[in-house]
Structure formats: C-alpha cells, structure tokens
C-alpha cells in the first residue's frame, strides 16, 4: 500500500538508491508537492470554475487567431 502511494506521488522512476533506499531529490519532492496541491485545488469548486475559465480563454484565443 505504501509503495503504491509513493509511486503515485513521485512517479514510476523512483529507484532504490542511497543509504535509506527509495530516496528522491529535492526537485522531485517539490514537483510532486506542486502536482498534489494543484490536483487538490482543481477538485474544489473554485478550482473547477478556474479550469472552466481557462478553457474559455483558450477557445477565445484560438478563435481570434483564426480571424
């Protein structure tokens, strides 16, 4: 169970290295924290609305480029 959660957080490229085994770099840690926080935000009502606004904005930009 714990190994599955670690792979979910840090990806499949987590290798058994270092003295403690399964160590990750600070950059990998920060990337996983950012990803988890973003996903948690996007699961909220405000996050879903923000996602909808972003899609609308991208659609408007695409439409403006075509004209």
Residue 6: band (very low, low, confident or very high) from pLDDT cuts 50, 70, 90: confident
Task: Supply the pLDDT for residue 46.
Answer: 92
Q: What pLDDT sits at residue 4?
A: 79
Tokens matching residue 31: 């990337």
Q: Where are the domains of the chain?
A: 24-67
First-to-final CA distance of the chain:
53
Per-residue pLDDT tens for 7-47? 777 777 666 666 666 677 788 888 888 988 999 999 999 98
- State residue 41's pLDDT score: 93
């Amino acid at each position: 169970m714990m190994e599955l959660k670690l792979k979910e957080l840090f990806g499949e490229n987590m290798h058994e290295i270092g003295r403690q085994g399964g160590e990750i770099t600070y950059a990998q840690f920060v990337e996983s924290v950012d990803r988890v926080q973003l996903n948690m935000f996007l699961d909220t009502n405000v996050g879903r609305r923000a996602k909808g606004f972003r899609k609308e904005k991208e659609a408007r930009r695409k439409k403006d480029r075509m004209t």
